[in-house]
């Protein structure tokens, strides 16, 4: 069940970024409203690239069990530690307590959107989010909208 859910979540994100689940890519127009970084919403451009499990990458936090929350990056263009859109996906899920806070009307869509790594960390510390593991590593540069 978890593996099936993981494939669906990662595939949906990669398709939004212009990549297929098999790792091949279709470079196309930017995917708008794709990734939050430091309270700025960025678009992305899918590239035909997947990365091995070594080398510098930025963390991209992907939320598995609540709609409306797009991924959040720990870094963005202009940051000294930004790695040019090389990502390691970190899979997160909202805990029951987190779902109560982020989806109080139980409609399956987040009512409290996280827009920065600092907010993600805060909600991990509050027990609203748990780490479920790692997803794929790939290249997908951020583009200011």
pLDDT score of 53: 67
Closest C-alpha among 60, 110, 116 to residue 83: 60
Residue 29: its pLDDT value, please? 55
Q: Which residue has the higher pLDDT, 107 or 46?
A: 107
DSSP 53: S
For residues 116-131, give the mean pLDDT: 98
- What pLDDT, on the 0 to 100 scale, is given for residue 96? 98
**pTM beyond cutoff 0.75:** yes
Number of Cβ within a 10 Å radius of residue 86: 18
CA atoms within 13 A on the CB side of 38: 9
- Selection from 125, 129, 71 nearest residue 100 by Cα: 129
Instruction: Give pLDDT tens digits for 16-56.
Output: 444 444 344 445 555 767 999 999 999 988 777 676 667 89
Question: Is the confidence at residue 66, as pLDDT, over 60?
Answer: yes
Mean pLDDT estimate for the chain? 82
């Amino acid at each position: 069940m978890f593996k099936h859910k993981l494939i669906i979540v990662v595939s949906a994100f990669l398709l939004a970024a212009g990549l297929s689940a098999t790792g091949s890519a279709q470079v196309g127009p930017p995917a708008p409203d794709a990734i939050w970084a430091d309270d700025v919403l960025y678009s992305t451009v899918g590239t035909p690239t997947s990365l091995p499990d070594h080398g510098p990458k930025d963390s991209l936090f992907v939320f598995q069990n609540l709609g409306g929350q797009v991924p959040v990056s720990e870094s963005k263009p202009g940051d000294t530690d930004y790695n040019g859109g090389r990502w390691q996906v970190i899979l997160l899920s909202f805990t029951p307590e987190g779902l109560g806070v982020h989806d109080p009307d139980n409609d399956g869509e987040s009512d409290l959107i996280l827009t920065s790594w600092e907010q993600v960390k805060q909600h991990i510390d509050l027990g609203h989010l748990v780490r479920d593991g790692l997803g794929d590593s790939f290249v997908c540069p951020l583009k200011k909208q």
